Amino acid sequence: MNKLLIVGTVAFDAIETPFAKTDKILGGAATYIGLSASYFNLQSALVSVVGDDFPQEYLDLLTARNIDISGLEVVKGGKTFFWSGRYHNDLNSRDTLDTQLNVLADFQPKVPQNFKNSDVVMLGNLHPLVQSSVLDQMETQPKLVVLDTMNFWMDCALPELLDVIKRIDVITINDEEARQLSGEYSLVKAAAKIHTMGPKYVVIKKGEHGALLFHDKEVFFAPALPLEEVFDPTGAGDTFAGGFAGFITQSENISFENMKNAIIYGSNLASFCVEKFGTERMIDLDKEEVLSRLKQFKSLTQFDIEL
Amino acid sequence: MNKLLIVGTVAFDAIETPFAKTDKILGGAATYIGLSASYFNLQSALVSVVGDDFPQEYLDLLTARNIDISGLEVVKGGKTFFWSGRYHNDLNSRDTLDTQLNVLADFQPKVPQNFKNSDVVMLGNLHPLVQSSVLDQMETQPKLVVLDTMNFWMDCALPELLDVIKRIDVITINDEEARQLSGEYSLVKAAAKIHTMGPKYVVIKKGEHGALLFHDKEVFFAPALPLEEVFDPTGAGDTFAGGFAGFITQSENISFENMKNAIIYGSNLASFCVEKFGTERMIDLDKEEVLSRLKQFKSLTQFDIEL
């Protein structure tokens, strides 16, 4: 089986939506990426850090999904990264209420020895120096390196971000972040500019409006599945990235044509993520449901015009 | 050849975008619908009204595209409907600067005798009583009636709008209008509610985010083509509707599967419309360009996951 190395936060989240409110629940980019990628045939390992307030049941939940957590450092006496946010009525925007970095502040990632030859590396949203450090530790060149980031690092650590972006193959960011990073309003122009910064593939996530994959002069679009109700969008972007990286890892094919399929898988998995609070739906999910929804994606998008 | 009857405004538009500004140029829903539908093999007629300030060259332009204008009333001493608007920087929203109804205020549509048996009727955005009056004049039941409308009529003539909506097959409205008409935020729920008002098919236009086609429990999505630059969005929605109605008229096939193709044709034609000011690009366009861009739509959306 091919190997996928995942780096990112493992966190406590407290979420408010127009429908309901949670106390501290399991969250974090690496958590969502790991759960999403676990629907594919692959070996995955998660590199991250938590405090010793992190419950054993959450660790068990990750290992139950065949995620190697030997690279998940548990800091004695430390507190786990905490994020709290409140979504607006349209669920498309949110306010951050609280961020406590805690053990994340001094995090030094350690890649497990038997994942230093991973086929695919998924660098979830974290400080760009942590993302770079993971790449430094690889002993063989991964077939594909995917990076997710956010506007926060563009504001606070742009030189470090630009450094790591030079070293990756695929970047996944949202539309506003693509505009900020490139200084271009048109997403077509933004993607072209980001190409010149390093990544051969640029994925622009537009939330409920789907995702675009740019490569050279080519572009592919995956819609989000129209849903009756979105319950909680937290983790949808990471679930999308995990589905993308997981499918690529499983299929060992990094052609543009296969990346189209990977984007569809990412959208598919993200459409489940938003149906319940936090990671709840991703834990419930079975492979039959994923396959059945792929059929919906086909009928949603496929047409037959003779040319 | 099958017949398409088009009703809607023929107007002067004055447009400001972040890039440029026009004086009075040719505009109006029926104009855009007619130009767009003229790329298909069909007979079309336009029912509308203008003043005698409307230039002969614009009339010639319509007849040159094989649009029958015997139902386009020219009111002696009357002034043509005038609309003026200014787009915001993102080109996704606009302010109306001026609306002068002029001859439109007392418009009584008259359907030309040889179009009273039209196969398809496209009711462009106009007062719902005018739309109803056109349906009253039909001597045979059209195979398909498509209606476009806007929030203005929901605010000012809701009972009349609900009356005409009962009599049609396909409604095309934008996302905000679908929410207003249904009282539902989720577009899936909005479409379900609008179905119960009459239309078996609900098309929700999301501008640069594409368009959704709902029918029973089925849904199809056509993206907008990602463009380097949008120059002027005026008329894109009407061009979309004209492409949809034009393709259905030509193909004589009102199945859901064929409507998917019609939606793609609508998006295709709309992607040209926004490339230049007003109707400029739609007049220039040749069929080869339309076909070539259809290939782009295919590579943008088609994937090949084995299920």
Domain range summary for chain B, segments of one domain joined by +: 3-300
The residues on A that touch B, with CB distances below 8 Å, are 89-90, 185-189, 206, 209-210, 212, 218-221, 223, 226-230, 257, 260-261, 264-265, 291, 294-295, 298-305, 307
CB within 8 Å: A186 and B210? no
CATH number of B3-300: 3.40.1190.20
Contact B161, B145 (CB under 8 A): no
**Most confidently modeled of A86-95, A298-307, B188-197?**
B188-197
A·B CB contacts under 8 A: 95
Does the pLDDT at position A221 exceed 90? Answer: yes
- Closest alpha carbon to A186 in B232, B273, B230, B207: B230
Q: Which residues on A lie below 8 Å from B218 (Cβ)?
A: 299
CB within 8 Å: A210 and B220? no
Does the pLDDT at position A245 exceed 90? Answer: yes
Q: How far is CA B14 from CA B22, B23, B82, in A?
A: 6, 5, 8
Does the pLDDT at position A307 exceed 80? Answer: no
Residues in chain A: 307
DSSP count for chain A of H helices, then E strands: 11, 14
- Whole-angstrom Cα distance, residue A293 to residue A276? 16
pLDDT of residue B307: 72
Q: Kindly give the parts of chain B with pLDDT less than 50.
A: none
Res. A20 pLDDT band, cuts 50 70 90: confident
Provide, rounded to the nearest whole percent, the portion of chain A with pLDDT above 70: 100
Instruction: Over range A136-161, report the average pLDDT.
Output: 97
pLDDT of residue A154: 97
CB within 8 Å: A303 and B220? yes
- Whole-angstrom Cα distance, residue B149 to residue A133? 56
pLDDT of residue B105: 94
Tell which of B305, B306, B307 to mutate to test the A interface (max A CBs under 10 Å).
Answer: B305
Q: How far is CA B84 from CA A93, A185, B87, in A?
A: 32, 25, 10
Q: How far is A218 from chain B (nearest CA, A)?
A: 8
Res. A306 pLDDT band, cuts 50 70 90: confident
CA angle (A271, A259, A292) in 5-degree steps: 40
Instruction: Over range A2-20, report the average pLDDT.
Output: 95
Is this prediction's ipTM beyond 0.90? Answer: yes
pLDDT of residue A89: 84
pLDDT of residue B228: 93
**Tens digits of residue pLDDT in A39-56:** 999 999 999 999 999 999
Residue range A3-301 forms a domain whose CATH class is alpha beta
